[in-house]
Amino acid sequence: MNLGHDLTPVAAGGLLDRRLFLKQGLAFSAVVLSADALATAEHMRPESSKTAGEAFSNYGLPSKYERETIRWTVANSNADGNGVAWTPLQDLEGSITPNGLHFERHHNGVPDIDPQQHQLLIHGLVNKALIFNLEQLLQYPMLSRMCFIECGGNSNAGWRTEPIQTKLGYFHGMVSCSEWTGVPLRLLLNEAKLKGRAKWLVAEGADASLMNVSLPLDKALKDCFIALYQNGERIRPENGYPLRLIVPGWEGVVNVKWLRRLHITNRPVMARNETSKYTELMPSGTARQFTFVMEAKSVITKPSFGHKLTRHGLYQISGLAWSGRGKIKAVEVSADGGKTWALAELQTPVLSQCFTRFRIPWQWQGETVILQSRAIDETGYVQPTRAALVAQRGTHGYFHYNAIVSWKIATNGEISHVYA
Ligand SMILES: Nc1nc2c(c(=O)[nH]1)N[C@H]1C(S)=C(S)[C@@H](COP(=O)(O)O)O[C@H]1N2
Ligand SMILES: [Mo]
């Protein structure tokens, strides 16, 4: 294919200048028309234009041709309604997760909560115990911010000794990104007037598991909020309707859904989800606890496992990067298993603790390549290789797996997950 453009790779394996597609119009695969074919195409009336279309609807749904873009649901047998619905990251673009595809993680099912009945209690080490109903909460000043929520157990198949062969969403899809709107927690805590000894809060949900976790008050006062809206509409039942706690950048479990109670204390409550779960055995034999921050991670979403390359030539690699510590500073992509790297283009705006979409042009000539991405955040933290992560943390961790992911493209265009 002679495109008459400078396709000199900037790194091995065919990676091209990240701005190439922005700067130049390149030929991909569209058919160039003959004069006859052009005349026919010009005068052709599409079938869809021959009759009036469907009537209006009260609430829209995706196209019937997109029914494969769905969550993967897995039920755990330890409790009713315990399980995960995974976001199909491999089928999505941009950086917002549609509400119907936000991942779900429930310990005991989705409760049916009547917003007229629901109340939020703030008590414990405060001068004034307060109780709010929805109508009252909706009168408080609100803020909106985009941020990801990621389960601390996301990507944990990476700890297995053999690389899991499954679609990206079923491996890394316990992370999603929305615009959340709600009331800063600081406002409510200030109104309750914290006592001097107050150091932690224990947040509890109104679901059957009465799930509770402890959160240091300095984080709560800094940037946490009680979300009532998700991407503009009221929060979906499975994501916490009518209200949930948002703790930007910290592991999913502290983002308590169906929030009913904030108990202010001077120490953590040592709940199940901060002792038996969401702690990690280290090679030293001691365990890590309260590892709240989700460290930088990135994945190439396209191409990824389950996709197949059917032609040689130009591709646009696309992926997601995020960091619980702040903004993504850079994403590098390698097509030779990590020997050489090229800078990817970051989609703006780049927001703190939020999905950042990256893209880079790539020319595939049919050789075997290993594609990887590596995120670097504004604190200078670099996403580790799998070998480095395992050396540091052992393999009994289960949580907080954020190593570089490798996709091997075979000469026939098939994609597998490898440890490189
Ligand atoms: N009340 C309650 N809050 C909860 C949970 C739960 O089961 N009950 N699951 C937690 C876990 S482990 C995660 S990862 C996130 C998932 O949020 P999502 O289902 O909106 O994606 O919610 C957290 N909040
Ligand atoms: Mo989680």
Among candidates 330, 327, 363, which has minimal Cα distance to 344? 330
Run of H or E including 136: helix 134-137
Q: How far apart are CA 381 and CA 245, in angstroms?
A: 27
Dist. CA 103 → ligand 1 center (Å): 10
- Report the CATH fold assignment for 297-418: Immunoglobulin-like (2.60.40)
Distance 354 CA to ligand 1 centre (A): 18
Instruction: State residue 27's pLDDT score.
Output: 66
What's the gap in Å between 237 CA and the centre of ligand 1?
A: 12
Write 344-348 long-range contacts (CB < 8 A, 24+): 344/18, 344/317, 344/319, 344/373, 345/18, 345/19, 345/22, 346/321, 347/94, 347/95
252 lines ligand 1 (CB under 6 A): yes
CA 324 / ligand 1 centre spacing (Å): 17
pLDDT of res. 23 = 78
Number of residues in the chain: 420
* Domain ranges for the chain: 119-289, 297-418
- Chosen CATH of 119-289 out of 3.90.1210.10, 3.40.50.300, 3.90.420.10, 3.40.228.10: 3.90.420.10
What radius of gyration do the chain's Cα atoms show?
24
Pick left, alpha or beta for residue 344 (phi over 0 → left; psi -120 to 50 → alpha; otherwise beta). beta
Q: Is the CB of 255 under 6 A from ligand 1?
A: yes
How do the pLDDT tens digits run along the chain, 420 residues long? 444 467 899 999 999 999 998 877 676 666 778 888 888 888 889 999 999 999 999 999 999 999 999 999 999 988 999 999 999 999 999 999 999 999 999 999 999 999 999 999 999 999 999 999 999 999 999 999 999 999 999 999 999 999 999 999 999 999 999 999 999 999 999 999 999 999 999 999 999 999 999 999 999 999 999 999 999 999 999 999 999 999 999 999 999 999 999 999 999 988 888 888 888 888 888 888 888 999 999 999 999 999 999 999 999 999 999 999 999 999 999 999 999 999 999 999 999 999 999 999 999 999 999 999 999 999 999 999 999 999 999 888 789 999 999 999 999 999 999 999
Q: How far is ligand 2, taken at its centre, from the CA of residue 151, in Å? A: 4
pTM (predicted TM-score): 0.95
What angle is formed at CA 103 by the lines to CA 374 and CA 237, rounded to 5 degrees? 150
**Lookup: tokens for 8:** 């000199």
Predicted pLDDT at 1: 42
Our mutation pick for probing the ligand 1 site, out of 87, 106, 236, 399, counting the most ligand atoms within 8 A of Cβ, is 106
Kindly state if the Cβ of 239 falls inside 6 Å of ligand 1.
yes
Any idea which ligand is nearest the CA of 213?
1
Question: What are the CA-CA distances from residue 407 to residues 279, 307, 367, 416 (Å)?
Answer: 29, 11, 13, 6
Instruction: Give nearest CA residue, ligand 1 atom 20.
Output: 239
Q: Which atom of ligand 1 is nearest to the CA of 210?
A: 1
